[in-house]
Structure formats: structure tokens, C-alpha cells
């Protein structure tokens, strides 16, 4: 009995000593405050960017009518005699590149994800997936010069009418750039489908291919669609590839062989010093940036909606 009491007292002393140590200043106490601070900084940064875009865009629309900005079919901001600020040519160039990129990235990305999730062995997956994700770490300026100096000459051998600067080459390379995003996120979505569902399909006599396309893909459709939408929003906001390989000729057409200019490429052009501070051209980059912000925000909201709408609970 005496020994049991002594052990009980010693345990109580250890607990009290531990409490006293924890009652003092510890690193664990400042972690929540640091995390809160970083979250606040992120929110304030986003709000600051948004308010900057709104105020400067409002200043632009005091000089250029909203109707002209969204309906005019010509974009000649640097003209001294007959300047035109119709954003449709820039939107056209952006959508052309995004559409071509989707034709490249979606099939390749989904095929890669299906192989990694359903067919590849663990060893193969550990080798291929990091290699795919390395593509996402390559600087976009490198992709831009790759499009200009390699992809464009190859395409001109097949399409003689293709101009040096065009929409096709940067569209293909942007598609290559966003392929790892689709492949990685889609593979994660398919891998999260429980094995019991696969085993149930096999027990009913389904083949591997039938299980993949009729069971796994429908079950992971929310994650797959969200990955595609997020990748396309990344393509819409791409800058350096289209700046280097796309050219700087805004035109409202669907011809992919001619020079184009996207919204991001125009912002780069003006930001390099082609327009003086306080001019209408200077404020136009904020109006274009606000339009681009609305595009990407809409794509992100669409991705979240699709993820919530079609999410499967297991």
C-alpha cells in the first residue's frame, strides 16, 4: 500500500511539473497566432489587389465608355489619331490559345491519369509521376522560347502559311504546360475511389477497361472536372509563352495561323514602358487586368461548383 501511494504521489508530481512547464512561454502557443497572421496577410493582399484593380479600372472608364470597351472590334490603344479600346480582339486571342491548349492537355492529361491510377505498378507510378510534375516546375519563359524556336519551325514544315508568331504554337505548348496539373489532380481523384468499388465491378464480371470508364471515371468526375477547369484557368492567365511566341497583333478572328495578342501579353507590353504613367493606355492595363480577373474568378468558382455538385461520399 505504501509503495502504491508513493508511485501515485510521484506520478502526480510529474503531472504538476509538466503543467508548470506548459504554463510558461512555449513555441506551441505562438503557432496559432502566426498561422492567423499569415491568413490575414493573404486576405489583405487579395483585397488590396482587388481594390487597386477596381479604382484604376474606374479611372479608365471615365475616359473610355464601357460600351466601346466591350463591343468595339478593334484594339488600337497606341494610335495618336484614332485610338480604339475594344477588348474583343484580346479576348479572342486568349480564348484561341486556351481552346488549343485544352485540345492538347485534356486527352493527354486524362490518359496519363488513367494509366497511373489503374494500370501502372507502384514502381512505375513512383517513376513517372514525379517526371510529369517536373514539367510544372519549368519556367514559362523557357516554354515560350521552346514554342518559338522549336515548335513553330516544326509546324511551319507542315503548314507553310503559318506565321512566325501565331496562336497554334503557344496553344500547343500551353497545353503541354498544364498537362501535369490535369494528370496529377485527376490521378489523385481516381486513386481516392475505394478499392471495394473496383472489386465489386470485377466480381460482376467487368473487365479492367469497363471498370475504369464505367465505374472509376464517373465516381471521380468531380475531381477530374475541377482539375480541368483549374488547368484551363491557368491557361487563360498564362503570360510569357503567349508573349514570346504569340506576337502582339490583336485581331478579332479565329485564324490560328496568324499573329495574336492575349490579355496578359498586352499587359506585359504596356508594363515594359510603352505608355506613360497617367495616360489612357496606362489605365487600360487595369481594365484588361480586371477582365482577366473576372475570367479566372469565374473559372475557379465553376471548379468549386462542379466539385461540390458531383462529389461522391464514401
User: Where in the chain are the domains?
Assistant: 84-309
Rounded to whole angstroms, the Cα distance separating 239 from 289 reads 12
In whole angstroms, give the CA distance from residue 282 to residue 60. Answer: 9
Instruction: Please give the pLDDT value at position 274.
Output: 64
pLDDT at 174: 93
Which CATH code is given to the segment(s) 84-309? 1.10.3720.10
Distance CA 57, CA 164 (A): 34
Q: What is the pLDDT of residue 312?
A: 62
In this predicted structure, what is the pLDDT of residue 314? 55
**pLDDT given at position 1:** 47
DSSP letter string over the chain? -HHHHHHHHHHHHHHHHHHHHHHS--HHHHHHHHHHHHHHHHHHHHHHHHHHHHHHHHHHHTTS-HHHHHH-S-EETT-SSS-EE--HHHHHHHHHHHHHHHHHHHHHHHHHHHIIIIIS-HHHHHHHHHHHHHGGGS-HHHHHHHIIIIIHHHHHHH-TT--SS-SHHHHHHHHHHHHHHHHHHHHHHHHTS-HHHHHHHHHTT--HHHHIIIIIHHHTHHHHHHHHHHHHHHHHT--HHHHHHT-S----S--TTS----HHHHHHHIIIIIS-TTSHHHHHHHHHHHHHHHHHHHHHHHHHHHHHHSPPP-
* pLDDT score recorded for residue 3: 46
Q: What is the pLDDT of residue 188?
A: 86
The pLDDT of residue 104 is 93
One digit per residue, the tens of pLDDT, for the chain of length 314 reads: 444 444 455 667 766 666 665 555 566 678 788 888 888 998 899 888 888 888 888 888 888 888 888 888 888 887 777 878 888 889 988 999 999 999 999 999 999 999 888 888 888 888 888 888 787 788 889 999 999 999 999 999 888 888 888 999 999 999 999 998 898 888 888 888 888 888 888 888 888 888 888 888 888 888 888 889 889 988 888 888 898 888 888 888 888 888 888 898 888 888 776 667 778 888 888 999 899 888 888 888 887 787 777 666 65
Instruction: Read off the C-alpha cell for 148.
Output: 518559338
Amino acid at each position: 500500500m505504501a509503495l502504491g501511494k508513493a508511485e501515485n504521489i510521484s506520478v502526480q508530481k510529474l503531472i504538476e511539473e509538466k503543467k508548470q512547464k506548459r504554463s510558461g512561454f512555449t513555441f506551441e502557443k505562438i503557432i496559432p497566432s502566426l498561422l492567423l497572421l499569415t491568413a490575414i496577410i493573404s486576405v489583405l493582399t487579395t483585397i488590396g489587389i482587388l481594390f487597386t484593380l477596381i479604382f484604376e479600372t474606374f479611372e479608365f472608364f471615365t475616359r473610355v465608355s464601357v460600351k466601346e470597351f466591350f463591343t468595339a472590334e478593334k484594339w488600337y490603344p497606341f494610335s495618336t489619331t484614332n485610338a480604339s479600346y475594344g477588348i474583343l480582339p484580346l479576348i479572342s486571342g486568349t480564348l484561341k490559345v486556351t481552346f488549343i491548349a485544352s485540345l492538347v492537355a485534356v486527352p493527354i492529361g486524362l490518359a496519363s491519369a488513367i494509366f497511373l491510377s489503374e494500370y501502372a505498378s507502384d514502381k512505375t507510378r513512383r517513376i513517372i509521376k514525379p517526371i510529369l510534375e517536373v514539367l510544372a516546375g519549368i519556367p514559362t519563359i523557357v516554354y515560350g522560347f521552346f514554342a518559338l524556336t522549336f515548335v513553330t519551325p516544326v509546324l511551319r514544315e507542315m503548314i507553310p502559311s503559318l506565321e512566325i508568331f501565331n496562336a497554334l504554337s503557344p496553344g500547343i505548348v500551353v497545353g503541354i504546360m498544364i498537362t501535369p496539373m490535369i494528370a496529377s489532380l485527376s490521378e489523385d481523384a481516381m486513386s481516392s475511389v475505394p478499392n471495394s468499388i473496383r472489386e465489386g465491378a470485377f466480381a460482376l464480371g467487368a473487365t479492367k477497361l469497363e471498370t475504369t470508364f464505367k465505374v472509376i471515371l464517373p465516381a471521380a468526375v468531380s475531381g477530374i472536372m475541377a482539375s480541368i477547369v483549374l488547368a484551363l484557368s491557368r491557361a487563360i492567365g498564362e503570360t510569357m509563352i503567349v508573349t514570346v511566341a504569340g506576337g502582339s497583333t490583336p485581331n478579332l478572328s479565329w485564324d490560328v495561323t496568324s499573329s495574336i495578342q492575349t490579355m496578359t501579353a498586352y499587359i506585359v507590353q504596356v508594363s515594359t514602358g510603352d505608355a506613360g504613367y497617367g495616360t489612357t493606355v496606362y489605365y487600360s492595363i487595369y481594365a484588361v487586368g480586371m477582365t482577366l480577373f473576372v475570367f479566372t474568378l469565374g473559372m475557379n468558382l465553376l471548379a468549386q461548383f462542379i466539385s461540390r455538385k458531383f462529389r461522391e461520399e464514401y
